[in-house]
């Protein structure tokens, strides 16, 4: 199963969870009059729109290359993921901060606290399960890479966005639950406003993190270092090749990498042999790294005194132009 198919399943799961939670939170906000609950309802509603954005991005990224976009539409995922970060910042974070400051300045008593606690507990269980599933998927993909390092370096922007949303939701629900209980126990409605303010700050922080990570991919980020390592490995395994002179890798989308490499040959070959060597290099590279969708190879003149050519007994020209 492709990376995009994995991500789509998690997006759909999060969408179903957030639709359910947004509806229950909205009902609780109406009956309790809690600002923190209202902030959480709006947060979940914004998350639903965010998941729709991600689904659009994944669908557009699957479009085949055409004359106007010869390298395909893989970066569409990054564009829509960046919009999600903006939505999380404005639709969730800024409004929650505003609502929290308003409730602190003009506190109102909360009512039907039991209903709010029950719904928040239910929502926390759903969001917790969704976040657990997301983390399990991240663990499967990261391999031996440390978890937080993987979040910073992975090219699966949609998976990271879903993780950021789910984590913010779990933390926000915990704040909302604590604020509602404190407001009820103390009779001070300002605790409810403080809860909404904290939720807003969490959303803003997550949105800034996501925007920063996705921006790098949107502008054009190099592929994972394992791709460059694979290039070096194939060159080392190929008798006709001497070394890599220059290498550019570019992440074009989830599971789509472009490689442009300049290679020095170990000794001189005719055009047919050189083409066969390049084709074999590309085939072996794609065997090691299937995500390499485009590979452009520029051959360079061989090193006259290549030790590899001498050791192998290959025929090559000397500096004087005579053959041994």
Give the pLDDT confidence of 48-97 residue by residue, as tens digits.
Answer: 887 888 888 888 888 888 899 999 898 898 999 888 888 878 777 887 88
Give the C-alpha separation, 266 to 305, whole Å.
Answer: 9
DSSP state of 267: S
Instruction: Name the E strands within the chain.
Output: 241-253, 256-265, 292-300
Count Cβ atoms below 10 Å from residue 5 Cβ, excluding itself.
11
Count Cβ atoms below 10 Å from residue 316 Cβ, excluding itself.
18
How sure is the predictor about 2, in pLDDT bands with cuts at 50, 70 and 90?
A: very low
Give the C-alpha separation, 32 to 162, whole Å.
Answer: 29
DSSP state of 105: H
Give the C-alpha separation, 226 to 251, whole Å.
Answer: 12
How sure is the predictor about 47, in pLDDT bands with cuts at 50, 70 and 90?
A: confident
Give the pLDDT confidence of 217-270 residue by residue, as tens digits.
Answer: 888 899 989 999 999 999 999 999 999 999 999 999 888 999 999 999 988 889
Taking alpha carbons only, the member of 165, 143, 3 closest to residue 91 is 165
Per-position DSSP letters for 193-214, written without gaps between them:
HHHHHHHHHHHHHHHHHHHHHH
Q: Which two tokens stand for residue 53?
A: 């954005």
Exposure string for 15-39, b = 16+ CB within 10 A, e = fewer: bebbeebbebbbebbeebbbbbbbb
**Looking at 78-87, 139-148, 167-176, 227-236, which range is the least confident one?**
139-148
pLDDT reported for residue 161: 82
pLDDT reported for residue 138: 84
Give the C-alpha separation, 76 to 66, whole Å.
Answer: 14
Determine the average pLDDT of the residues in 99-111.
Answer: 81
For the chain, count helices (H), then strands (E): 11, 3
Exposure string for 230-240, b = 16+ CB within 10 A, e = fewer: bbeebbeebeb
The set of residues, in sequence order, having a beta carbon less than 8 Å from that of 154 and lying 6+ positions away, is 141, 142, 160
Instruction: Strand 292-300: give its sheet, edge to edge.
Output: 241-253, 256-265, 292-300
Alpha-carbon torsion 311, 316, 319, 321, what sign? positive
Q: Which two tokens stand for residue 270?
A: 């005719």
Taking alpha carbons only, the member of 191, 39, 4, 33 closest to residue 111 is 33
Structural domains for the chain: 3-219 (1.20.1510.10), 225-312 (3.30.70.1350)
Of residues 243 and 314, more confidently modeled: 243
The set of residues, in sequence order, having a beta carbon less than 8 Å from that of 282 and lying 6+ positions away, is 295, 297
Pairing between strand 241-253 and 292-300?
Answer: unpaired
Determine the average pLDDT of the residues in 192-219.
Answer: 88
Of residues 44 and 310, more confidently modeled: 44
The whole model's pTM is what?
0.71
Place of tokens 């989308």: 253
């Amino acid at each position: 199963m492709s990376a995009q198919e994995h991500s789509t399943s998690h997006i759909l799961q999060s969408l179903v969870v957030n639709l359910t939670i947004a509806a229950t939170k909205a009902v609780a906000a109406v009956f309790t009059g809690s600002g923190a609950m209202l902030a959480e309802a709006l947060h979940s509603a914004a998350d639903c729109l965010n998941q729709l954005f991600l689904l659009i991005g994944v669908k557009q990224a699957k479009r085949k290359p055409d004359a106007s976009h010869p390298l395909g539409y893989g970066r569409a995922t990054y564009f829509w993921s960046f919009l999600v970060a903006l939505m999380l910042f404005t639709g969730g974070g800024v409004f929650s901060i505003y609502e929290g400051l308003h409730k602190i300045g003009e506190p109102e008593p909360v009512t039907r606290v039991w209903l709010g606690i029950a719904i928040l507990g239910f929502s926390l269980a759903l969001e917790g399960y969704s976040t657990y599933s997301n983390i399990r998927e991240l663990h499967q993909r990261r391999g031996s890479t440390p978890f937080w390092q993987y979040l910073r370096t992975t090219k699966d922007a949609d998976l990271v966005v879903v993780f950021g949303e789910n984590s913010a939701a779990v933390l926000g629900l915990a704040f909302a639950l604590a604020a509602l209980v404190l407001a009820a126990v103390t009779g001070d409605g300002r605790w409810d406003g403080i809860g909404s303010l904290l939720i807003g700050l969490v959303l803003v922080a997550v949105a800034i993190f996501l925007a920063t990570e996705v921006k790098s991919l949107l502008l054009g980020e190099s592929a994972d270092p394992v791709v460059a390592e694979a290039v070096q490995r194939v060159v080392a395994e190929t008798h006709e090749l001497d070394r890599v002179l220059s290498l550019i890798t570019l992440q074009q989308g989830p599971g789509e990498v472009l490689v442009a490499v300049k290679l020095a040959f170990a000794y001189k070959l005719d055009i047919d042999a050189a083409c066969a060597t390049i084709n074999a290099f590309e085939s072996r590279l794609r065997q090691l790294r299937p995500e390499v969708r485009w590979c452009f190879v520029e051959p360079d003149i061989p090193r006259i005194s290549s030790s590899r050519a001498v050791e192998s007994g290959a025929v090559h020209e000397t500096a004087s132009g005579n053959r041994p």
